[in-house]
Chains A and B, each alone.
Chain A
Amino acid sequence: MLKQVMSQYNEAIMDTDRDRALQIVHVAVDLGISPEEIVFNVVVPAIELMMQSISENQGISLAQHFMAAQIASEVVDEMVPLFAKAPEIVGTVVIGTSQGDFHGLGKRIVSGCLKAMMVEVIDLGLNVAPERFIDEALARNAQVIAISSMMVHTATGENGCRRVRKLLKERDLEDRIRIAVGGAPYRFDPDLFKSVGADGWAENGVTAGRVITDLIREVRR
């Protein structure tokens, strides 16, 4: 039965049909599938399947990324309180857009996917100062700072990732905190993340989940 639920849920996600996806989940729970199975055997594999489809260039659209993350986030919010015991958190990330950047969509997609992967997400919002990224990461004991930039000058400017890297170095925090970046300029220049001092980058919000969890594991190793 779980296989059937997975298949129906995946289909609803690809069709961007939120109501159908939620209905599939509710029916499955009523039929005895546990909330843990829903999250770890249905929702997370659906995100992983989407990552695979993206990497195989199967023409997945931004709207499908958005809806997959949105639905995942809603299902996780509903299921986690029903877990038999509190789930183990993989790690913590602080996320925001770089200073001067007011585009929040990428950040929202990343946050929804991370939540399903049991990563605690601290959303600092838009137009975040470099110092605030560091202060919040320290206050929340985050392993990763995730910086989203949709414009070339906010990705490459002195008040974005470059400054966050400089501050990490000055405060001797580079072993404790990694930086992930994402957004349009990085897609058009896949080496840009290195020149702005990030540890990793993701081509889209869905694959960002994998990049960020890998960075968290690197810090925790």
Chain B
Amino acid sequence: MMTGMERLVAAIDGTPADRIPVFCNLLDQGAKELGLPLEEYYSSGEHVAEAQLKMRAKYGYDCLWSLFYVGKEAELLGCRKIIFAKDGPPNVGEMVIKKYDDIARLQVPDDITSHPAFAEELKCLRILKAEAGGKYPICAYLTASMTMPAILMGMEKWLQMLMMGPNDLRDELLTKCSDFFQKQVAAYRAAGADVLVYSNPFGSTDVIPRTFFNELSLPWMVRDLTPGGTSGIVYYCGSARFNNVIRSVIEHLGIGVFYLSPMDDIAEGKQLVAGRGLTCGVINDIMLLEWSKEEIRAEVKRMIAAGKQGGKFLFGTLVMPYNIPEENIRTMLEAAYEYGSFECP
């Protein structure tokens, strides 16, 4: 039997494997697994690592996550208040940038790995590496410079600044966010993360018009990625569609892994990638809260039929909602293993 890492490498290289790789992004569910409230769970890298390893072993999928929650990045840049929910991801409770003057005061840490807000994640990464390194890909989540301001000042204020200026402050903020990204990606690589999910809803024309994508998003993505290169980088736009920019992303950024939106047409995405990389078909996992077993199997079958032919395909989820019944997670995964098998026509 192949390991998750072997399946992923085979899918990227287009070499034979027992089945397609399956990435199931369970984060908050780790707290349930350990019987802990979310706030307590996320206070410790040991907890997160233990739950990630347990859940992967229990369900058999192919990835591990070092991500706690997205607001962690805001903590690295000065946010001191995270609001925890009982049954969903934590929210940033205090904007780091409340007024434009705060942009000048925003400080990018020199050494992210020694920052207290990174300590638990680093602990988690080390445990995952020691326990499963080389066998199962360890994923890290990084927010692109163009999207980071939404976490620091709120989407509403960021969109206002992006569309209406002042452009000098916008560029000052983007420069700091891009510097932060470059340091963060280097820190994750040094700590042993294999898969670097580059999250950028502003890399989708669902969010910004094409002219903005060409004139702003692309150059800032080039800046983010140039020093460290694109090894391990996964292009991901949150849940926003991006089939229509795949050609530009390949041409200008050289990224080779595309984690589509559930709303993207998988067959079209794969055709656009055209063998130059790995296409990841992503299920609309909110529906797993409602769908019957038959509906789940039918959807997984449809998705895999659209992408599996010719290999270079991965089945994945978004960040799975906390309340998806365990039975539905199993149904989805069993269907993915079955229909994703290369013995299965």
Contact = CB atoms under 8 A, between A and B. Distances in A.
| Chain A partners chain B | yes
B239 A66 contact: no
Contact of A63 (B212, B244, B284, B289): B212
A191 B295 CA distance: 15
A156 B85 contact: no
Contacts of B212: 16, 63
Nearest to B155: A105
Interface stretch (B18-26, B158-166, B176-184, B266-274): B158-166
A163 interface: no
A124 interface: no
A191 B290 CA distance: 10
A188 B261 CA distance: 11
Contacts of A195: 290
Secondary structure call for the B interface: loop
A51 to B, nearest CB: 17
Interface string B84-122: 010111011100000000000000000000000000000
Interface stretch (B200-208, B297-305, B325-333): B200-208
Interface string B56-91: 000000000000000000000000000101011101
Given A102-B93, A151-B88, A188-B239, A64 B323 contact: no
Contacts of A100: 83, 85, 88, 91
B289 A156 contact: yes
B209 A185 contact: no
B159 A188 contact: no
A156 B323 contact: yes
Interface residues on A, range: 20 to 34
B207 A63 contact: yes
B14 interface: no
B194 to A, nearest CB: 28
A100 B322 CA distance: 15
A32 interface: no
B316 interface: no
A104 B89 contact: no
B89 A66 contact: no
Interface residues of B, number: 33
Given A64-B209, A156-B289, A188-B287, A151 B163 contact: no
Given A100-B85, A102-B92, A59 B205 contact: yes
Contact of A61 (B93, B154, B207): B207
B205 A152 contact: no
B45 interface: no
B262 interface: yes
B323 A153 contact: yes
Contacts of B209: 15-16, 61, 63-64
B321 A62 contact: no
B55 interface: no
B218 interface: no
A160 to B, nearest CB: 11
Contact of A66 (B88, B159, B323): B159
A155 to B, nearest CB: 9
B88 A154 contact: yes
Nearest to A188: B286
A192 B286 CA distance: 10
Contacts of A200: none
Given A67-B163, A153-B321, A156-B289, A104 B156 contact: yes
A152 B321 contact: yes
Contacts of B83: 100, 102
A153 B87 CA distance: 6
Interface string A67-95: 10010000000000000000000000000
Interface of A: 15-16, 18, 59, 61-64, 66-67, 70, 100-105, 108, 151-154, 156-157, 184-185, 188-189, 191-192, 195
7 contacts: A18-B163, A62-B206, A100-B85, A101-B91, A151-B91, A153-B88, A156-B289
Given A102-B91, A184-B239, 18 more contacts: A61-B206, A62-B208, A63-B159, A63-B163, A63-B207, A67-B163, A100-B83, A100-B85, A100-B88, A102-B92, A104-B155, A105-B154, A151-B91, A153-B85, A153-B322, A157-B87, A157-B88, A188-B287
